[in-house]
Structure 1
């Protein structure tokens, strides 16, 4: 793979979601850089998780870079063996000349990132609500606001929970979601919605909203929320993230074209990447 292409992809991703926006617990950026190999065409595979199926697909489609939203490595590893499925995936990528870049919470926080995409689904019509940061804003070294963790949507006209549930299912293309209703005012119209992609329990702690909208929360976090008068909508961890990948593909392609990378490349969204749980 051309080292210039990997550098171009990493630089483009940094422009889309600056790594400095990532949470302190996170491990983001270029997590696997493989030895160079020659290729007539460069391909980026976008996925949420680096599963065995995604690696199979990436090798088959001759990808040179995988942008995997979730970090493939979180803590220090003392060994790399084929006995561990994740390590085996990384070893297979290395053997096939595929590098791996992971943006995770940097892509959550950045303006125009995953949480803003979720917020747009809640609003429906862009003039029907206001999107604000749920937590403190993060700034660039020059002092420009670059993003924040979580979003708070305030609807200009309150809607019923039924209407909100329909909007979210349509936006995420899901036939079913999990809902916990407030034990205080279950029929109260919804005006404010707190949003966090993935797992939002810790982000929502201490935040006031009519609804918490996220992928998953711990059991006791849900109990506490509904007891305090907040409805909860859970859609499955990666179901709140995967629908953003086509948008990321468009952003990445635009950045690479702007950078005038003059070799042939394309960007594809994995067809094998799926939520690990099914409703049966």
Structure 2
């Protein structure tokens, strides 16, 4: 394993311990290329490993891709160039690019994706704006310490209207439009105090939890219907739109980890960059 890849694995484990990932997830070092190019010290952060992101990685002479979503999720029965995903993996191997995925471990860790979403909901840097706590339960490590938890529940110090919440979410995620389902006749004028949060696809985690609003990327149709029927408002922003804005936070965290580690000459000048080709796959037209 190259010195850079070792540093990435070590740093990501410190940032988002893999034990915090959901049992169904596939996280960690997913692809280790045997090809090592000296002088290539660039790490690319992306949500998805799409063909466009792969081409960007080749142009930028990247050595390691930290892909939030695992490009290898289910067992692979073949590795052929006829399958786009498998072709991308094979090209990475050939070009000396390794792949690491943190996924739900980065969601759960304190200071991770779900906390970032919660900060956007609070709409203020002030502690008085409200509190963010675990939605499902803390994850206790073997040392007895809590490093993270599933989901988040934001409790606002002062109630706001749904219209205000919508504005906060749009501003935080940089979106012009979001999908909203109102669980009460008051609609946008309804007053809310609690917001349950899950990045990505949150229906299975959120439905049934006590909150005024469910805030996630996407939910199944019947999950939306059940939530609205129970009087809970639903805010959907697009799966990766609830995740991509966190990449600058991760980049800063990863750079900090690199700086605090003892590094040899091979690790000097590591460049952590955020993919410009990574985008939400669906457009509003």
TM more than 0.5: yes
SS state at 1:135 partner: strand
Q: Which of 257, 272, 282 is 1:277 aligned to?
A: 282
Q: TM-score, normalised by structure 1?
A: 0.97
* Contact 1:184–1:228 (Cα < 8 Å) also in 2: no
Partners of 1:38 and 1:175 in 2: CA distance: 42
Q: Which residue of 1 aligns with 2:181?
A: 180
Q: Which residue of 1 aligns with 2:133?
A: 132
- Write the deviation string for residues 32-84 of structure 1: whole angstroms up to 9, x where unpaired: 00014232240000000000000000010000000000011112111101111
C-alpha RMSD of the superposition: 1.1
Q: Which residue of 1 aligns with 2:216?
A: 214
Q: Which residue of 2 aligns with 1:67?
A: 66
Residue 185 of structure 1 and its aligned partner are, at CA, apart by: 5.0
Q: Which of 255, 258, 272 is 1:267 aligned to?
A: 272
* Contact 1:21–1:106 (Cα < 8 Å) also in 2: yes
- Runs of 4+ with deviation above 6 angstroms: none
User: Higher mean Cα deviation, 40-49 or 260-269?
Assistant: 260-269
Partners of 2:263 and 2:236 in 1: CA distance: 41
Residue 184 of structure 1 and its aligned partner are, at CA, apart by: 5.3
Q: Which residue of 2 aligns with 1:118?
A: 117
1:225 aligns with 2:227: yes
Partners of 1:9 and 1:59 in 2: CA distance: 19
Q: Which residue of 2 aligns with 1:38?
A: 37
Q: Which runs of 5 or more structure 1 residues have no equivalent in the other structure?
A: none
Residue 241 of structure 1 and its aligned partner are, at CA, apart by: 0.1
Q: Which runs of 5 or more structure 2 residues have no equivalent in the other structure?
A: none
* Contact 1:41–1:264 (Cα < 8 Å) also in 2: no
Partners of 1:223 and 1:76 in 2: CA distance: 33
Partners of 1:38 and 1:49 in 2: CA distance: 24
Q: TM-score, normalised by structure 2?
A: 0.96
Residue 265 of structure 1 and its aligned partner are, at CA, apart by: 1.1
